[in-house]
Amino acid sequence: MTKRILIIDDEPNIVISLEFLMMREGHEVHVARDGEAGLVAVRAHRPDLVVLDVMMPKLDGFGVLEAIRADPQVAATRILMLTAKGREAEFKKGLALGADAYMSKPFSTRELVDKVKELLDSQRES
């Protein structure tokens, strides 16, 4: 079943790879290049899942995460965070702020696809 996926990342090549992977799974993909644009896109497209980068201009991933969770209309959105900063503290911070999953860059495409599938399934069950 087709889901809406929103990718928020400022690295064009990462975006290309993620877009390719999600479309291959048959999802509808939207892209935002920074945090602020990402928030607008979340409210506009109501995605089922957001793949969210941490280090971005204007508004970083944690800011986007908090804003989504604070907005009742989109608060239920599944969020998978990707970060190039592989520190333990970042993981904990992301999970504490309400991320559903957290993966570090570079990531395994298979793991990423499985994780997205898992998150989308858990949404269906709930």
Partner 1 sequence: MTLLMINGPLIIGISFAYLGLLFAVAYWADRRAEQGRSVIAHPSVYALSLAVYCTAWTFYGSVGRAAESTVGFLPIYLGPTLMALLWGAFLVKLVRVCKTERITSIADFIASRYGKSQLLGGLVTIIAVVGVVPYIALQLKAIAWSFNILLHYPEVRMPVPGDLPLWADTAFIIALLLAAFTILFGTRHLDASERHEGLVAAVAFESIVKLVAFLAIGLFITLGLLGWGGPTLPPLTDSPRVQALLEPSVEPFADWFAISLLAALAIILLPRQFQVTVVENSDERHLLRALWLFPLYLLLMNLFVVPIAIAGLLAFPDGTVNADTFILTLPILFEHPWLALLVYIGGLSAATGMVIVETIALSTMVSNDLVLPLLLKRWQRRQHALDPGRLLLMIRRGAILGILILGYLYYRFAGEAYALVSIGLISFVAVAQFAPAVIGGLYWRGGTREGALAGLIVGFMMWVYTLLLPSFAKSGWLPSVFIDSGIAGLDILAPTALFGISGMSEITHGLFWSLTANILFFLLVSSLREPNVAEISQAGIFVDESRRIAIGSAPLWRGSAEIAELMRLAERFLGATRTRNAFTDLARSRGLDSPEQLPADGATVYFAETLLSGAIGGASARVMVASVTQEETLGIEEVLDILDEASQIRAYSHQLEQKSRDLEAATAELRAANLRLQELDRLKDDFMSSVTHELRTPLASIRAFSEILHDDPEIDLEQRRRFLGILVSETERLSRLVNQVLDLAKIESGHAHWRTEVVELQALIEQAVQATEQYVHERGGRVTLELHPTTARVWGDRDRIIQVLVNLIANAAKFAPQGAAELRIRLTDVADQWRVCVTDNGPGIPQQELERIFEKFHQTATGGAKPGGTGLGLPISRQIIDNLGGRIWAESPPGKGATLCFELPAHAANPSDPRPEHD
Contact footprint for partner 1 (CB under 8 A): 10-14, 16-18, 20-21, 24, 33-34, 55, 57-58, 84-87, 104-110
Type of residue found at 102: Y
Tell me the closest approach of the beta carbon of residue 42 to partner 1, in angstroms.
20
Q: Which is nearer to partner 1, 17 or 123 (CB)?
A: 17
Q: Which is nearer to partner 1, 14 or 39 (CB)?
A: 14
Give the residue from 99, 2, 102, 12 showing the smallest Cα distance to 47.
2
Cα separation of 114 and 102, whole Å? Answer: 13
Tell me the closest approach of the beta carbon of residue 124 to partner 1, in angstroms.
26
- d(CA 83, CA 78) in angstroms, rounded, equals 17
